[in-house]
């Protein structure tokens, strides 16, 4: 095969002669695309209108599952993630499905035990998964061993990822240099990988580095090379082209409506770029246009409000400056905003590389991006001049113990010692494959959830997401009422919402009137965004018709500060009374969800004892007793959402 990309006279015909070495394409629209642009809120019903057309394009594979979909679907969309696989398989019959698997982290945020990992892969294969794209956030391939053995046993395609990260502005330096990546690729091929993916989650791979990297890897491995490069920094279309010139076999793209910003480069311009060359994709542009039209008319109106429109630019040059993945940046900004500390973003940028270095210069990808990001914010908000790492998250402790695997460079010994003080598994870190110290989990999970998990798929969901998974199973089996906030909306409701938005912008929304009618069962909650302000608006249609009244009667605009939090659930929670009992109050230091209380009312604790586990930005934080005393005034329960400053309990 020649390295040169050569062009013959253009031929737009769909039946144009095939290229010598066509670039293969994997489409990411219905997984990474909506995960990157629309907070993974894409619903299965909105994938069906394009599914058969997508199957006809000729993709190498379509990414349909994995990453954050599993979490988001059951938590925010009231959808069974397993069902999505089976449903899409009915429409997409020719093209293989691909999923993103976080190795031993599966589709969650920590390393799970081997029995759960084996069961997960087995059930994913059984439900229709064909290509397992596996990555480990630390590039520690010992974390691949269990899932890969099962992928192979199921006869499926194992694609091994190398997470691409940097410590310098460009490829090189002491840690992440060409030799590092060559060594990683060799070990993946030795493990039996069917293909290798260069996973550039932050869009850091510069075009000329891509050329050098692909060339170097092509020299040492024989299996196909696949490039996954986010657009975030703006380099990825150029990076694609240089990688193609260097001989990359497969490239990831999105359909145009799902492309750019923190997502991926669009497919259509690439198809045109390669048209008539020896690397022509062979795709029919008219088919792609038809998919675009369906998406624009039938699907995008439901999601466009989720786009971050606070910025005009499609490119985030902060990524070039700070080397953080796009999702991580928006998480950091959200987290700071929720805590009314957005002015601290500059300090966060300064602290971030320090924390990353302290924690072993790890790549920044889920879950390590959250681990480093949340700890950085904690340091900026809670540290004092004479004490660093004042509030260490549970996940940082796990990382220091070795539960995520081996870091690129050793963790700072002082930070490690502080993190492991009183750590339940022991204060001495491990060096073995992390899952070796994990007890089997499935039986324990089964004992906890009982018959609410009707089959293995339910049980696997619960085992990875005990709090939200249980909530979902209760909705699924009619044990509790499904809240409006997780229900789908129709195009008609989108129109209603847009009208409301216009009224809000024009200042026509009325304040509360004297005689407030009772809310009916037809009441719906809308999230209304006005510039950067966010309102939670309840609309109750009057009379028989479903038309929104000209002057909505029950509209009470209420600015809320946390767009990500389910606001309607918060409204149902009784506002906590300020210290209504004698004692010291334990306040929520940040908005989040209660995982559990470690004590009951009446229990005696001493200052510093862990009292509540609070999940914020997907990280678990252990909140400790501010004084000695007896616990009282517990106002929340497992799964409840709390705001910053809510009284979690009183100790007196």
**Which residues of this protein are in contact with Co ion, per CB under 5 A?**
32
**Starting at the edge strand that comes first in sequence, how are the strands of the sheet with 604-605 ordered?**
584-587, 647-651, 629-632, 604-605
Give residue number: closest CB to Co ion: 32
Give the containing element (helix H, strand E) for 88.
helix 81-91
Least spacing, CB of residue 477 vs Co ion, in Å = 33
The residue among 202 and 352 lying less far from Co ion, judged by its C-beta, is: 202
**Positive/negative CA dihedral, 477, 483, 485, 491:** positive
Rounded distance between C-alpha atoms, residue 472 and residue 382, angstroms: 34
The residue among 32 and 458 lying less far from Co ion, judged by its C-beta, is: 32
The residue among 367 and 633 lying less far from Co ion, judged by its C-beta, is: 367
Helices (H), 282-367: 285-294, 317-322, 326-338, 345-358
Least spacing, CB of residue 99 vs Co ion, in Å = 12
Least spacing, CB of residue 370 vs Co ion, in Å = 15
The residue among 202 and 473 lying less far from Co ion, judged by its C-beta, is: 202
Distances 3 to 19, 218, 249, 467, 577 between C-alpha atoms, Å: 14, 11, 12, 52, 70
- 3-state class (DSSP) for residue 30: helix
Give the containing element (helix H, strand E) for 268.
helix 267-274
Least spacing, CB of residue 416 vs Co ion, in Å = 30
The residue among 236 and 361 lying less far from Co ion, judged by its C-beta, is: 236
For Cα atoms 304, 349, 410, give the angle at the middle one, nearest 5 degrees: 115
The residue among 32 and 316 lying less far from Co ion, judged by its C-beta, is: 32
Least spacing, CB of residue 422 vs Co ion, in Å = 37
φ/ψ of 536, rounded to 5, equals -105, 115
The residue among 307 and 530 lying less far from Co ion, judged by its C-beta, is: 307
Least spacing, CB of residue 36 vs Co ion, in Å = 7
Least spacing, CB of residue 32 vs Co ion, in Å = 4
For Cα atoms 648, 649, 652, give the angle at the middle one, nearest 5 degrees: 155
The residue among 135 and 472 lying less far from Co ion, judged by its C-beta, is: 135
Least spacing, CB of residue 236 vs Co ion, in Å = 11
What is the distance between the terminal CA atoms of the chain, rounded to a whole angstrom?
76
Cβ atoms of residues 187 and 242 within 8 Å: no
The residue among 31 and 123 lying less far from Co ion, judged by its C-beta, is: 31
The residue among 188, 586, 137, 119 whose CA lies nearest residue 398 is: 137
The residue among 37 and 391 lying less far from Co ion, judged by its C-beta, is: 37
Least spacing, CB of residue 388 vs Co ion, in Å = 32
Peptide bond into 552 cis (omega under 30): no
Least spacing, CB of residue 167 vs Co ion, in Å = 21
Rounded distance between C-alpha atoms, residue 507 and residue 496, angstroms: 16
Rounded distance between C-alpha atoms, residue 134 and residue 413, angstroms: 30
Rounded distance between C-alpha atoms, residue 587 and residue 585, angstroms: 6
DSSP letter assigned to residue 425: T
The residue among 285, 267, 269 whose CA lies nearest residue 24 is: 267
Least spacing, CB of residue 232 vs Co ion, in Å = 10
The residue among 32 and 79 lying less far from Co ion, judged by its C-beta, is: 32
């Amino acid at each position: 095969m020649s390295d040169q990309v050569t062009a013959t006279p253009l031929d737009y015909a769909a039946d144009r002669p095939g290229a010598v070495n066509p670039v293969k394409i994997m489409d990411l629209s219905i997984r990474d695309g909506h995960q990157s642009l629309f907070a993974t809120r894409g619903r299965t019903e909105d994938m069906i209108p394009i599914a058969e057309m997508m199957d006809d394009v000729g993709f190498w594979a379509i990414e349909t599952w994995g990453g954050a979909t599993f979490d988001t679907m059951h938590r925010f969309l009231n959808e069974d993630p397993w069902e999505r696989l089976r449903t899409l398989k009915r429409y997409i019959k020719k093209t293989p499905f691909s999923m993103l698997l976080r190795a031993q982290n599966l589709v969650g945020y920590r390393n799970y035990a081997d029995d759960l990992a084996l069961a997960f892969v087995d059930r994913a294969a059984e439900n229709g998964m064909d290509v397992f794209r596996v990555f480990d956030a630390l590039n520690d391939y010992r974390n691949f061993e269990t899932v890969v053995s099962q992928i192979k046993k199921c006869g499926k395609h194992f694609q091994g990822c190398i997470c691409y990260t940097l410590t310098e502005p460009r490829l090189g330096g002491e840690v992440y240099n060409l030799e590092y990546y060559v060594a990683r690729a060799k070990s993946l091929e030795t493990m039996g990988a069917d293909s290798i993916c260069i996973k550039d989650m932050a869009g850091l791979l510069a075009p000329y580095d891509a050329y050098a990297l692909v060339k170097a890897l092509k020299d040492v491995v024989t299996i196909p090379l696949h490039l996954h490069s986010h657009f975030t920094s703006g380099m990825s279309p150029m990076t694609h082209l240089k990688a193609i010139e260097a001989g990359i076999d497969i490239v990831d793209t999105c359909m145009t409506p799902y492309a750019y910003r923190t997502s991926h480069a669009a497919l259509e311009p690439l198809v045109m770029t390669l048209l008539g060359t020896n690397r022509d994709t062979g795709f029919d542009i008219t088919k792609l246009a038809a998919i675009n039209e369906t998406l624009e008319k039938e699907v995008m109106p439901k999601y466009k409000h989720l786009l971050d429109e606070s910025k005009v630019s499609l490119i985030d040059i902060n990524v070039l400056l700070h080397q953080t993945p796009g999702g991580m940046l928006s998480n950091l900004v959200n987290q700071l905003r929720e805590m009314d500390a957005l002015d601290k973003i500059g300090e966060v940028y300064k602290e971030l590389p320090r924390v990353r270095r302290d924690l072993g210069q790890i790549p920044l990808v889920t879950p390590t991006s959250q681990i480093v990001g949340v700890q950085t914010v904690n340091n900026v908000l809670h540290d004092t001049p004479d004490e660093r790492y004042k509030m260490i998250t549970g996940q940082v402790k796990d990382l220091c113990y070795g539960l995520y695997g081996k870091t690129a460079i050793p963790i700072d010994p002082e930070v490690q010692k502080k993190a492991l003080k009183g750590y339940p598994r022991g204060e001495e870190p491990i060096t073995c494959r992390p899952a070796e110290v994990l007890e089997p989990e499935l039986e324990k999970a089964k004992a906890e959830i009982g018959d609410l998990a009707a089959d293995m798929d339910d049980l696997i969901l619960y085992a990875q997401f005990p709090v939200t998974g249980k909530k979902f199973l209760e909705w699924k089996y009619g044990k509790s009422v499904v809240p409006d906030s997780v229900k789908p909306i129709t195009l008609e409701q989108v129109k209603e919402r847009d009208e409301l938005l216009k009224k809000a912008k024009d200042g026509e929304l009325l304040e509360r009137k004297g005689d407030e009618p009772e809310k009916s069962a037809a009441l719906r909650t809308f999230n209304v965004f006005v510039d950067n302000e966010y309102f939670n608006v309840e609309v109750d249609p009057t009379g028989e018709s479903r038309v929104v009244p000209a002057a909505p009667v029950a509209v009470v605009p209420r600015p809320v500060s946390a767009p990500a939090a389910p606001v309607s659930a918060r409204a149902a929670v009784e506002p906590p009374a300020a210290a209504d009992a004698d004692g010291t109050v334990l306040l929520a230091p940040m908005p989040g969800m209660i995982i559990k209380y470690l004590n009951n009312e009446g229990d005696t604790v001493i200052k510093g004892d862990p009292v509540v586990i609070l999940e914020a930005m997907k990280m678990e934080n252990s909140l400790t007793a501010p004084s000695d005393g007896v616990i009282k005034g517990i106002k929340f329960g497992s799964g409840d959402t709390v705001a910053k400053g809510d009284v979690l309990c009183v100790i007196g």
